[in-house]
Structure 1
Amino acid sequence: MPNARAAKRAAVRLGAVALAGALLAACGSGSSDGASDSAGGKVTLTVDLFGSFGYKEAGLYAEYEKLHPNVRIKQTDTEDEQDYWKSLQTRLAGGGGLADVQGIEVGRIAAVTQQQTDKFEDLKKYGADKLKDQFAEAKWSAATGKDGQVLGLGTDVGPEAMCYRSDLFKEAGLPTDRAELATKWSTWDGYLALGKEFKEKTPGKSAWLDSVGSLYTIMIGQEKERYYDASGKLIYENNPAVKAAWDASTEAAKAGLSAKLDQWSPQWNQAFSAGSFATMPCPAWMLGYIKGQAGDAGKGKWDIAKLPAGAGNWGGSYLSIPKAAKHKKEAYELIQWLTAPEQQAKLFTKQGNFPSSTGAIEKVATAKDPYFSDAPIGQIFGDAAKAAPVQVLGVHDKNVADQITNALSEVERKGTSPDKAWSTAKKNVQNATG
C-alpha cells in the first residue's frame, strides 16, 4: 500500500496533519487496559494511517463494528507518507498524541525493528506468534526485532505491473492487447522506445507516463539490493542497479516522455480524470487509488499488463501498536482481524491491495477487475508477487529513496542536469541518514 501506499489534496495536507494530531491528542495516550471512553460503554479505537489503506472504502470498519457493537473506529490519515512519518516521529518522541493503531510503510519498518523497539508493543504478548504461518516469510521477518519481537502485522505487499490507458493507445495507433504490449516492452528500453513512438503520434496531447520518479521507483523495486546491503552498509552510491534506474529515468525526462507531475500532488490527482498520461507503473495498491481519482468515467479505459524486465515490489505496509496506545488489547484484536486472510482477500477484490497473507493469495488467484477492462489482476499480481525478490531493507531506506526521487523531479521539471541533480541527492541523503 502501501504500502504505499495516497491523497486528498496537498492544499489540505498540512491541515489534515494538524487535525489528526489534535484529534489523537484529544483521545489521549497512556497504558490504559482499554476502559470504555464513550457514551454507552463503547470503546473508540483510533487508527492513524497514511495514503489510502482502503479499509473504510472496502467496508471493513463497518463490518468490524457490526461484529463488535462495543467498538467504534475513528480513522485519521495523512496524504503524504513523508509528512506522516515526520509527524509520527515527533509524537513518538513526546509520547503523546499517538493512535491505538499506527500504519508503518515497508520502507520504514527497519527503523522500527532496529531503532524503536522501545516505542512499539511486542505483539507476541497478545498471541501474534501464532500467526506466523499465515504470512509470507519475508513479510513476517521484516517486522521482527533482533530479540524476536513482533512489531507489526503485515497488510499488503506491492507486486508491480504496468497500468495503461487503452483508449489513448488506440488513438495513437498502438497495440492495446495486454499480452502484445508485454512482449513489446519486455525490457525498459522497449518501454521507452514505445513511449517515444507514442509521443510522435500524439504531439502536444497526453504524456507517456506520469513522472520519472514513478519510473525510477518501479525499476528499483525489481532489485534485491538497492540502498543497503545485507550487512547494513549504505551502498546506493555505487550500486549499478540504482544507476540503471537513474539513467533510464533521466533519459525519459530528456525525451519529454513525462507529464512532470509530482506523485500525490493535487495536479497529479487531477491528471487521472484528464487523461494527462498514457501509462503508469503501478503496484497492486495503486489500483484503488486510480479508481478513486479517475472515477466512474475511467472505467474500461484502463488496463494492466506485465511489467517490463521482470517482477518487482513497491510498497506494502504494517499495522503497529505504540506503547503509548490507550486501548492495546482491542487494537490488537482489530489489526489481527484486518490482516486475516478473509479480510485481505476482500480488500484486494475491492481496492486492489495485494495480500501478504498466504491464505488470501490463494483466494484471489482468479480475480478480475471490471474497472481495468477485466484484467486478470489475481494472476498478474500473483505471478509478480511470486517472482519478486526479497528486498534488503535498511534503516533509512525510505529517506534515501525520497531524496533520489526528489532530485529526479528537479531534472524533469526544472531541467537540472542529471549530474548536478545526483550530486544534490547525495548531499541530501547524507543529511537524512546522518
Structure 2
Amino acid sequence: MRPSRAAVTVGSAALAAALLLSACSSGTTTGAQDANEKVTLTVDLFGTFGFKEAGLYDEYMKLHPNITIKQSDTQDEGQYWQALQTKLAGGGGLADVQGLEVGRIASVMQKQADKFTDLKTLGAGDVNDGLVPWKAAAVKTADGKVLGAGTDIGPEAVCFRTDLFKEAGLPTDRAELAAKWATWDGYLALGKEYVAKAKPGNAWTDSAAGMFTAEVGQQKVRYADESGKAVHDSSPAVKTAWADATRLVADGLSAKLPQWTPEWNKAFSTGKFATLSCPAWMIGYIKGQAGDAFAGKWDIAAGPGKTGNWGGAYLAVPRTAKHPKQAAELIKWLNGKEQQVKLFTKQGSFPSSTGAQGEIKSVKDAYFNNAPIGEIFSEAAANMPAQVLGTEDGVVGKAFTDALGEVERTNTAPATAWQHALDNVKKASGN
C-alpha cells in the first residue's frame, strides 16, 4: 500500500529471535520472541475477517506464548475508513495492524503511502509471494516497497433461503437456480415470481445496493479507466448496474434494508429477504448474524455470470505502530497458505494464495446444506476480471449505493438520485 521507512529498535537478542521467526514457514513458526518480552499486538479491522472466529489468533498465541492479540472491529467499512482517516491525520490511536479494503488501496498507495511501513524493512517483504498477481501488485510501489499483505478476495455467488423458496414454490436445486439466474435479467425475473407467491413483507433480496455492487464487480473497468481517469459518470458497467438496481426497486423486489445496519443484521434470521448477492466472505457474516438456528436454511448457488469480485482486504502496519516487527510477523503468518485454507474452510474467506486455492476446491459447508463452496467460488474466481482500481473507488461506490438508498427509502426518482451520486462524488473527491 504505501511507502515508508521502518522505525524499529530492539535489543540484539530480540532481533536475532525475530529474524529466526521470519525465516520459519507459515505453518511451522514456533515462537521466537525474547521470552522476557511480553507484547500485546492490537489489530483493528472492519466486517468479519474471520481470524478470531477461525481460531487463528488462539493458534498464533499458543505458538508465541509471549504475544497477546487484541482485535477491535467495526462492521461498517465506511465508518471504519472515516475513523482511520482521523487517526492517520492525527498520528495517534492507530493499531499495530490495520485492515484496508481493496476499494481503498489505490487511494492509500497514492495519497497516504508515507503513513505505512514497508514490510521489506520488517523481514516480511515476501508476504505476497504466491498470491494472484493483481492482489500482490496493488500494494507494491514503483520502487519496490511492499506496503500491505493480501488476505482474501471476493468471488461472487448468490446465497438463498431454502425454506422461503420452498414456501413460495420455487426450486431449491443449486444447478437449476444457477441456470434460471444465469443473467441479471433472469435473477430479476425469478424475483418477480417469488414475490408473487411469498408471504407479505417477504422480499426477494436485501437491497438495491447489494445487487449494484455485485454487478459492477463483474467488470474490469468500473469507476476509473486504466489511465486512472474517473469514468463513473459514463461507465457502461455503472450505468447497466444502476438500471438493473433501480428496476429491482420498481418491481418491488427489495427489502430496502441499508447494509451493515442493525436492521439488516437482524434480517438474516427473519423472512425479510430470500436471496443475497454473496461474495465468499459473506459466508462468515451470515453465520454470525443468523446463528446456529438457521444452519441448513441457507444455501449457495453460482450467481449471474458465474463471476465477479466484491471486496477482499489487506493488512498493513502503520508507521506509528508500537510493535512493527511483531505485527509484520503476525500478518505474514496469517497470510500463509495453511492459514488461508483454514479461513476458507471455517469462514468462507476465499484465499488469494494460489496454493491455497488449489487445496480448497472440494470444500463443502455444512451450514449451507453442504454446498460445494470450494467449487462454486473457485469457478467465480477463475472467471474474475483483474479490476482497475481507482483512487476514489470507495468514495464512488458509496455515493452510488447511498443514492440507491434514496430511491428505495424516499421514493427519489432514479435520475435525480443518479445526479445526487455524481454531486456527492464531486464534493468528496473533486471528480
Asked if these proteins are the same fold (TM beyond 0.5), I'd say: yes
Counterpart contact for 2:100–2:316, Cα < 8 Å: yes
User: Could you say what the CA RMSD is over the residues aligned between the two structures, in angstroms?
Assistant: 1.5
Structure 1 residue matching 2:358: 3-state secondary structure: helix
Correspondence 1:95 to 2:71: no
Give 1:40 shift. 6.4
Correspondence 1:248 to 2:244: yes
Give 1:91 shift. 1.1
Counterpart contact for 2:8–2:325, Cα < 8 Å: no
Counterpart for residue 355 of structure 2? 359
Counterpart for residue 272 of structure 2? 276
Correspondence 1:320 to 2:316: yes
Cα gap change, 1:146 to 1:115, in 2 (>3 Å): farther
Among residues 107, 117, 120, which one is paired with 2:116 in the alignment?
Answer: 120
Counterpart contact for 1:139–1:356, Cα < 8 Å: yes
Structure 1 residue matching 2:321: 3-state secondary structure: coil
Give 1:33 shift. 3.2
Give 1:128 shift. 3.3
Give 1:341 shift. 0.5
Correspondence 1:399 to 2:395: yes
What amino acid is the match of 1:400?
V
Counterpart contact for 2:38–2:66, Cα < 8 Å: yes
Correspondence 1:33 to 2:48: no
Provide Cα deviations, 1:287-320, integer angstroms capped at 9, x if missing partner: 0000111111111111111111230000000000
What amino acid is the match of 1:317?
A
Among residues 329, 333, 342, which one is paired with 2:329 in the alignment?
Answer: 333
Counterpart contact for 1:227–1:234, Cα < 8 Å: yes
Provide Cα deviations, 1:376-431, integer angstroms capped at 9, x if missing partner: 00010011111100000011101100000000001011111001100101100101
Give 1:93 shift. 1.4
Counterpart contact for 1:48–1:99, Cα < 8 Å: yes
Counterpart contact for 2:209–2:245, Cα < 8 Å: yes
Cα separation, 2, equivalents of 1:59 and 1:131: 21
Between the two proteins, the alignment pairs up a number of residues equal to: 403
Unpaired runs of 5+ residues, structure 1, are 1-29
Counterpart for residue 157 of structure 2? 161
Among residues 59, 69, 85, which one is paired with 2:81 in the alignment?
Answer: 85
Among residues 164, 168, 186, which one is paired with 1:190 in the alignment?
Answer: 186
Cα separation, 1, equivalents of 2:156 and 2:429: 27
Counterpart for residue 294 of structure 2? 298
Counterpart contact for 1:159–1:311, Cα < 8 Å: yes
Counterpart for residue 110 of structure 1? 106
Cα separation, 1, equivalents of 2:143 and 2:108: 13
Counterpart for residue 22 of structure 1? none
Cα separation, 1, equivalents of 2:252 and 2:129: 47
Q: TM-score, normalised by structure 1?
A: 0.90
Give 1:41 shift. 3.4
Counterpart contact for 2:203–2:273, Cα < 8 Å: yes
Give 1:31 shift. 4.6
What amino acid is the match of 2:164?
L
Give 1:113 shift. 1.3
Among residues 281, 284, 291, which one is paired with 1:288 in the alignment?
Answer: 284
Structure 2 residue matching 1:159: 3-state secondary structure: strand
Cα separation, 2, equivalents of 1:395 and 1:230: 12
Provide Cα deviations, 1:36-80, integer angstroms capped at 9, x if missing partner: 9xx963101111111111111111111100000110111111121
Counterpart contact for 2:157–2:306, Cα < 8 Å: no
Cα separation, 2, equivalents of 1:244 and 1:148: 38
Counterpart for residue 409 of structure 2? 413
Give 1:203 shift. 4.5
Among residues 217, 226, 247, which one is paired with 1:230 in the alignment?
Answer: 226
Provide Cα deviations, 1:3-25, integer angstroms capped at 9, x if missing partner: xxxxxxxxxxxxxxxxxxxxxxx
Provide Cα deviations, 1:295-349, integer angstroms capped at 9, x if missing partner: 1111111111111123000000000001111111100000000010001110111
Counterpart contact for 1:34–1:328, Cα < 8 Å: no
Cα separation, 2, equivalents of 1:119 and 1:311: 34
Cα separation, 2, equivalents of 1:242 and 1:269: 27
Cα gap change, 1:296 to 1:34, in 2 (>3 Å): farther
Counterpart contact for 1:114–1:146, Cα < 8 Å: no
What amino acid is the match of 2:158?
M
What amino acid is the match of 2:346?
K
Correspondence 1:199 to 2:228: no
Give 1:126 shift. 2.7
Counterpart contact for 1:33–1:329, Cα < 8 Å: no
Counterpart contact for 2:206–2:276, Cα < 8 Å: yes
Counterpart contact for 2:363–2:372, Cα < 8 Å: yes
Give 1:34 shift. 6.0
Unpaired runs of 5+ residues, structure 2, are 1-5, 15-34
- Sequence identity percentage: 61
Give 1:359 shift. 1.2
Cα separation, 2, equivalents of 1:207 and 1:196: 10
Counterpart contact for 2:308–2:385, Cα < 8 Å: yes
Among residues 61, 66, 73, which one is paired with 1:65 in the alignment?
Answer: 61
